[in-house]
Amino acid sequence: MAEASARTARISMKDVRASVRRVQSEGERIVGRLRRDAQSLISRTRRDGVSDLLADALKFEQTIRKRAEKAIEELEERRARIMATFEEQAGRLVETVVKGLNLVTESEVRELRRRVAHLERRVDQIGGNAA
């Protein structure tokens, strides 16, 4: 009986060793598959991360561009208001200086030219009637 028990034990050890080898090879195969799947997932995650980063960069660029355009518009509006104020103040200053110098204004020169032209026509009419 001892011999039968030893023989069963040897068979069992062989079976156990074979089972361990099968489990080990199956485990290695599963670990390899897990490794490939993990690398694929990481690679995909990296691509998604890069895509998300690029999308964020584009959004940031658009936001900055809109802000810059708005700032330019505001600066242009300010420039127009400042120029209008400057022109108005310069006009008042020139008017004050001209009045202080007692110089003739453009409108006064136009009025004088109109009056001289009118007088020349009247002189021509009188001269034409007398001849």
Residue 49 located in a structural domain: yes
Residue 29 located in a structural domain: yes
Contact at 8 Å (CB) between 94 and 87? Answer: no
Contact at 8 Å (CB) between 98 and 105? Answer: yes
Domain that holds residue 40: 2-102
pLDDT at 3: 58
Residue 27 located in a structural domain: yes
Question: Given a cut of 60, is residue 1 above it in pLDDT?
Answer: no
Structure confidence by residue, pLDDT tens digits, 74-130: 999 999 999 999 999 999 998 888 777 877 778 889 999 999 999 999 999 988 776
Residue 47 located in a structural domain: yes
Structure confidence by residue, pLDDT tens digits, 52-73: 778 888 888 899 999 999 999 9
With b meaning 16 or more CB within 10 Å and e meaning fewer, what string describes 37-60?
eeeeeeeeeeeeeeeeeeeeeeee
Residue 19 located in a structural domain: yes
Question: Given a cut of 70, is residue 5 above it in pLDDT?
Answer: no
Domain count across the chain = 1
Residue 70 located in a structural domain: yes
Residue 41 located in a structural domain: yes
pLDDT at 78: 92
